[in-house]
Chain A
Amino acid sequence: MTETILRQLDVFLADPTGLHTYLVVSALLFVLGLIACMARRNAIGILIGIELILNAAILNFMVFWHFRGGQATDSTLAGPMMGIFLIVLAACEAAIALAVLLNLYFNFGTVEVDSIRRMKR
């Protein structure tokens, strides 16, 4: 374990603005989002965790695009386009999720996911 962390550090120090750094940041973002989803009781917290996971994915798209030779003059702009799609997707998702949460609140008087278990018999 220690050996692995040290090897990562070596790689970071050798090229601090390289691909590897961005991927680590993206992984950290993903894990943070995941932990938020798992740990938060409030549905809004879970929603924020999901947004973090999505942002990690967007960052991955952009980074891979850039470090695989992507230029702003490219005719396709695959990475940024995918990022913009995901942002729009995240916005839609947030809108719908908030609407669901609003209805949950109206019906149950709470957004604590653990107390909303009526489907379980």
Chain B
Amino acid sequence: MSILAIAILILCLPVAMFGVLALFHNRIPRHGDFLAILTLGACLLFSTILFFKAFFSDGSTAVWGFGAVGWLAARAGNALSSGILVDNLTAAMLVVVTLISFLVHLFSVKYMEGDVRYGRYYCGLLFFTASMVGVVLASDLLWLYMSWELVGLSSYILIGHWYEKKSASDAAIKAFITTRIGDVGMLIGLLICYWKVGSLQYADLFAAVQTGGLAGGWHTIAGLGIFFGAMGKSAQFPLHVWLPDAMEGPTPVSALIHAATMVAAGVYLTARMLPFFDSTTLVFIAYIGGFTALFAATIAVVQDDIKKVLAYSTVSQLGYMVLGLGVGGYVSGMFHLTTHAFFKAGLFLGSGAVIYAMHHEQSMSRYGGLRRKMPVTTVCYLLATLALVGFPGFSGFWSKDAILADSLAYAMLHPIHAFLPIAGFVTVFLTAFYMFRQFFLTFTGKPRDSHAYEHAREAPWQMLVPLIVLGALAVVGGGFGGWFGAMNPKRGGEEQVDAIVRSGYVSTWTSRLSLSSVSTLSTESTPSTSEHGESAHGPEVEALHKAHYIAMGLSTILGLSGIGFGALFYFERRNGRALFDPARVAARFAPIHRLLWNKYYLDEIYMLCFVMSFRGIAWLAAWFDRLVIDSIVNFFGLLGVAGSWIVEIFDRYVVDGLGVNGAARVTALLGEGLSFSETGRVRQYIVSMVTGLLVAAGACAFAYFAF
């Protein structure tokens, strides 16, 4: 099978099964969940085949299959075309999406057991998977945008799965609207691209940027607009507020959509469009990412809800990816996306198992000691946590280290941007701290809710299998890093992609690939070194080599110290108390704690700035409407009533009285009056007839003779 055929199959299978389940899930046993799982299994199989076909063939061709369909021609001569693009980036994303989706489908069998809308839930999952595959396979921004909105819609449906709960339906609306705000920016970017370039194909856009067809202010605005869409989907700083609320959805949904795949769509878009962005946009991207990473990590430190901690952790990690992309680390950003998908999905599914065991209790202050009840979950959770923290040897270590090294090298070349690596390193410490706070609170110490603890038991196999798979991937996922080398867009044009792909040696690929991406950025930000030759690489090579070792060492130290601090505060010793009491520290720094606990009051600020002002405008508009518009309307209404009254009078007295009834009455009167002549005497009739005849003849004769 050709690569294109496989790609279309991966897209069509979930679509078809979605249609089947949407129509018939009530008539299929178990609402057709096994069909959904089988479909996703097939998709995973095909994605794996595609992955190996794409990666273990001639790496020099980045674009594998390309089918363009003639589309609507909005402008003469510029028909929009749409198609399927399968390159290494697509292939890797497909594996991530279908793998996580498959595991989540499997996990949901037990987690959603007995749910009132079980069939609808699986329809939503399939719909999401299809849309997400659409995002990944698109060869142009138009198709990507449409799939992007479908992804948003499915997210809305799945967050609001338990829509009887007010908070869930509110969260669904919030997620949808917040991401829509970002999408408006994206649409503006798209329109500028189409206006200036006349095409939305990635290849055309990149070519336009390289030849100068799209440059200057419009280029920056288009890039910022497209990244604004990515900010909405990937929950970057000003638009991140929806993601923690989205945890109102079922936990497997959080794992699939709000941790591993959909929120990664923004990162994917940024990576896909990376050759498109100019230096201003890239700096903006880097700062948004770095700030988000730090900002969300500080909030995660104080949260109590197990899923909220993971949600803010997700925001923070997405910030990492965006930071990595912003400083030009194409490979490191995508690598972190993949490893993060594995271990964060593992963490979410692990928290799902815990929540399932604790009868849908989500507050960590009621957990504790679950390690003795759920050993397998604990081990998987610990592995994923270590990966997220970046413990040396785990997958997260390699990917996070790559991002940190990229940002550090970037700051070494441009010292003015020193904030970026600092934010990154502080976040490493915070991440380690809050993750182990969570781990200790949940799995170690004494149970704080003994009743729920007594009933807790190890999750069933449908939950454990995904957990074990993801836990294993969290450990070894770093090994996939080598393949990500081949995803490089190769703007420099001289990378030895094949060598990197086949070298398999992690540190080599990290340095070489990140090197190429840094050089990509530097050639763009400093036009003087415009040539892409080896000579331009000198300072970047050195910076990155140095940065790499510094980053590795520093992140290890910071991570370990974060774990240590977590243990000091939250690991209960034999006497049942931790070394330091976190409550006392919180009381000591009460204003800061309150600020963090309330998430920097951002929701309240948004409420005040946007929601309230909109309500004020709406109130004003309603007032105006009632007072002015309505009175005008009522005036004309009264006018109509008066007019109709006049018309009624006319109708009654003139039309009815004179016209209709008058004619009838005249006829009746004539009949009454003339009936006396009808005597019934035949002879009289003859006489009158003859008289009439004579009169008529006389008149004729008179007329004849007189005139």
Contact = CB atoms under 8 A, between A and B. Distances in A.
Interface of A: 34, 37-41, 46, 113-114, 116-120
Given A34-B690, A38-B687, A113 B678 contact: no
Contact of B681 (A34, A40, A113): A113
28 contacts: A34-B686, A34-B690, A37-B683, A37-B686, A38-B683, A38-B686, A38-B687, A38-B690, A39-B683, A40-B683, A41-B683, A46-B682, A46-B683, A113-B681, A113-B682, A113-B683, A114-B681, A114-B682, A114-B683, A116-B680, A117-B679, A117-B680, A117-B681, A118-B680, A119-B680, A120-B678, A120-B679, A120-B680
A113 B679 CA distance: 12
Nearest to A34: B690
Given A41-B683, A46-B683, A113-B681, 13 more contacts: A34-B690, A37-B686, A38-B683, A38-B686, A38-B690, A39-B683, A40-B683, A46-B682, A113-B683, A117-B679, A119-B680, A120-B679, A120-B680
A9 B394 CA distance: 154
Interface in B658-694: 678-683, 686-687, 690
Contacts of B686: 34, 37-38
Nearest to A121: B675
A46 B685 CA distance: 13
Contacts of B683: 37-41, 46, 113-114
Contacts of B690: 34, 38
B302 to A, nearest CB: 109
Interface in B57-92: none
Contacts of B680: 116-120
Nearest to B681: A114
Nearest to B682: A113
A119 B678 CA distance: 9
A50 to B, nearest CB: 10
A108 to B, nearest CB: 13
B690 to A, nearest CB: 6
A38 B464 CA distance: 125
B184 to A, nearest CB: 89
Nearest to A31: B690
Interface string B144-162: 0000000000000000000
A12 to B, nearest CB: 22
A54 B321 CA distance: 123
Nearest to A120: B680
A22 to B, nearest CB: 21
Nearest to B679: A120
A67 B686 CA distance: 33
Nearest to A37: B686
A90 B690 CA distance: 21
A59 B114 CA distance: 115
Nearest to B683: A38
Contacts of B687: 38
A34 B682 CA distance: 13
B689 to A, nearest CB: 9
B679 to A, nearest CB: 6
Q: Closest 5 interchain pairs by CB?
A: A120-B680, A117-B680, A113-B682, A37-B686, A38-B686
Nearest to A117: B680
A13 B63 CA distance: 134
Contacts of B682: 46, 113-114
A120 B680 CA distance: 5
A114 B684 CA distance: 9
A34 B687 CA distance: 9
B684 to A, nearest CB: 9
A101 to B, nearest CB: 12
A11 to B, nearest CB: 19
B668 to A, nearest CB: 16
A116 B681 CA distance: 8
A35 B309 CA distance: 128
A37 B690 CA distance: 10
B694 to A, nearest CB: 10
Q: Identify the interface centre among B678, B680, B690: most chain A CB within 10 Å of its CB.
A: B680
A41 B683 CA distance: 8
B490 to A, nearest CB: 114
Nearest to B675: A121
A106 B577 CA distance: 135
Contacts of A38: 683, 686-687, 690
Contacts of B679: 117, 120
Contacts of A119: 680
Contacts of A46: 682-683
A40 B681 CA distance: 12
A107 to B, nearest CB: 15
Contacts of A120: 678-680
B698 to A, nearest CB: 15
A118 B679 CA distance: 10
A40 to B, nearest CB: 8
Contacts of A41: 683
Interface in B220-246: none
A104 B683 CA distance: 17
A117 B682 CA distance: 9
A38 B682 CA distance: 8
A94 B681 CA distance: 21
Contacts of A117: 679-681
A41 B686 CA distance: 12
A37 B679 CA distance: 17
B701 to A, nearest CB: 13
A37 B684 CA distance: 10
A16 B690 CA distance: 31
Nearest to B693: A34
B612 to A, nearest CB: 88
Contacts of A40: 683
Contacts of A114: 681-683
A117 B683 CA distance: 12
A114 B678 CA distance: 13
A60 B520 CA distance: 128
Contacts of A39: 683
Interface in B519-562: none
A115 to B, nearest CB: 10
Contacts of A34: 686, 690
A120 B681 CA distance: 9
Contacts of A118: 680
B551 to A, nearest CB: 123
Contacts of A37: 683, 686
A81 B687 CA distance: 32
A2 B678 CA distance: 39
A63 B683 CA distance: 31
A97 B482 CA distance: 125
A100 to B, nearest CB: 12
A120 B686 CA distance: 17
A39 B686 CA distance: 10
A116 B679 CA distance: 11
A114 B682 CA distance: 7
A34 B686 CA distance: 9
Nearest to A49: B686
Interface in B163-199: none
A102 to B, nearest CB: 17
